[in-house]
Amino acid sequence: DSGVTQTPKHLITATGQRVTLRCSPRSGDLSVYWYQQSLDQGLQFLIQYYNGEERAKGNILERFSAQQFPDLHSELNLSSLELGDSALYFCASSVAPGTAIQETQYFGPGTRLLVL
Amino acid sequence: AQSVTQLDSHVSVSEGTPVLLRCNYSSSYSPSLFWYVQHPNKGLQLLLKYTSAATLVKGINGFEAEFKKSETSFHLTKPSAHMSDAAEYFCVVSGSNTGKLIFGQGTTLQVKP
């Protein structure tokens, strides 16, 4: 158990809908990262927050957004869902924002999203 | 820009024989490198990481990796495979100082009895 929790574990929804994925980082970790794992794209970095502020952005679609709240939990919002958004979404956390000597990121169990 | 290439998409070994999973990296500066493992229907677990200290890195469950700058490689090894090692393995490089991780495409390790 990494100490990172994600809810829900599974989510089935329809095209055009909107969903919210939730992540609670390990106690004491200030950074939260979101990754998407799909069969065709592999594991891709989406976005990072550090202590409530957006720190880095990856290949995140404009239909997707995220935020980190004062209690440090984070939510990833996916809207106008398409079939291709079906994937496993991971959240990870680390103590620091990321430096040249990289802090270890601890991953949650993921949320499996299926868009029908 | 940073990138990693895992040279084998699938590796099959017999239980008790050595494991070698190959990874080459590309980085414009001294990288931090990791190996993560993903068991079926599970999250990602850190096996080991290299952060410019010793070039031979020991990880959990008997795995090791050696950082070779001249070859830009970070291969993962284990002397003797166990059935429980069957999983997907990812070689990962950190991307600049933001904490972004860049994953290889993964290597599926099959362990035969």
Q: Which residue of B has its CA nearest to A39?
A: B105
In chain B, how many H helices and how many E strands?
A: 0, 12
pLDDT surpassing 60 at residue B49: yes
List residues bridging with A47 in a β-sheet.
A34, A57
**Partner A contacted by B54 (CB < 8 A):** no
Mean pLDDT of the B41-55 span = 86
Burial class (CB in 10 A: 0-12, 13-18, 19+), A102: buried
Burial class (CB in 10 A: 0-12, 13-18, 19+), B54: exposed
pLDDT in tens, B61-100: 999 999 999 999 999 999 999 999 999 999 999 866 667 8
User: Are A106 and B94 in contact (CB < 8 Å)?
Assistant: no
User: Are B100 and A58 in contact (CB < 8 Å)?
Assistant: yes
pLDDT surpassing 70 at residue B22: yes
Please report the pLDDT score of residue A66 as a whole number. 97
The pLDDT mean for chain B works out to: 91
Give the separation between CA A32 and CA A95, rounded to whole angstroms.
9
List, as one string, the DSSP characters of A91-110: EEEESSS--SSPPPPEE---
User: Are B43 and A109 in contact (CB < 8 Å)?
Assistant: yes
Please report the pLDDT score of residue A100 as a whole number. 47
pLDDT per residue as tens, chain A (116 positions): 889 999 999 999 999 999 999 999 999 999 999 999 998 889 999 999 999 999 889 989 999 999 999 999 999 999 999 999 999 999 999 887 665 456 788 999 999 999 99
User: Are B99 and A100 in contact (CB < 8 Å)?
Assistant: no
Residues B90 and B104: beta-carbon distance below 8 Å: yes
